[in-house]
Amino acid sequence: MAAKPKLHYFDGRGRMESVRWLLAAAGVEYEEVLFKTPEEFENLIKGGNLMYQQVPMVEMDGMYIVQTRAILKYIAAKYDLYGKDLKERALIDMYVEGMRDLNDMIMYFPFSLPEEKQKNFNYIIERATERFFPVYEKALKDHGKNYLIGNQLSWADVQLLEVILMAEELKSGILSAFPKLQEFKARVSKLPNIQKFLQPGSQRKPPEDEAGLEVVKYIFKVDEHLYLKHMGLTIHK
Ligand code: GSN
């Protein structure tokens, strides 16, 4: 039997959470090696298997895969969650890239400077409800099927459920104007692999709390201002 994929990351959601979701949806068991200090991260880098000295990194099928999108694409293709042809694949990429834009905004939100928190919050809610969710609501409405592409679960559906739940954590009731997304959420949450992942005790990570954020800043030596300058690309106004 092939070894289980091994996920190298810190003990939080971050960019790895979508990898956890996709593996769970595919019914693949995985192991996690979670570092807690800058020294442990440094040792992982010294091991020489991080192409860019960055995580996420997934050891899988004899490879050390880095770059979140590369990891996700490999898993999606391997477990038949990446469409039946190139056109479906392009559509999945289009949906997923939008979802990842929203996912990234929500992921970085806790790093907001206190004086910018409300503005960033308003911006994310506006983008979610006026730009991104209408696309997926319309897609589900127009073709009347249970899933976004064709009539089987794909990476786009898994990513959509993940980002819906993240957005609801930010603002409960955010789906109130999106009946098709509400139905989608209820339906996909009941798929056995996903239901299992949503239950307490699974490998799903909780939202980052203050202590968790401090750990992330400590491990990656995050300079708040430098960090936020980068994020200015997605959160501005
Ligand atoms: O998507 C990706 O995997 C890459 N384009 C970015 C990965 C990345 O920025 N990883 C961070 C930690 S995870 N959170 O954002 C990282 O390893 N930073 C250390 C560094 O030296 O860049």
**Residue whose pair of structure tokens reads 């693949």 in the numeric block:** 28
- Predicted confidence (pLDDT) per residue in 64-117, tens digit: 999 999 999 999 999 999 999 999 999 999 999 999 999 999 999 998 999 999
d(CA 97, CA 72): 12
> Does residue 76 sit within a domain?
no
Residue 20 lies inside a defined structural domain of this protein: no
* Rounded-to-integer distance, Cα 122 and Cα 211, Å: 24
Atom 6 of ligand 1, residue of closest alpha carbon: 67
What CATH number corresponds to the domain at position 151?
1.20.1050.10
Q: Over the stretch 182-207, which tens digit does the pLDDT of each residue have?
A: 999 999 999 999 999 999 999 999 99
What was the pLDDT predicted at 123?
97
The reported pLDDT for the residue numbered 230 is 57
Q: Is the CB of 112 under 6 A from ligand 1?
A: no
Number of structural domains in the chain: 1
At residue 228, the pLDDT reads 58
Mean pLDDT (the chain, rounded): 93
CA of 15 to the centre of ligand 1 (A): 8
Tell me if 133 is assigned to some domain: yes
For residue 151, count other CB atoms closer than 10 A to its CB. Answer: 9
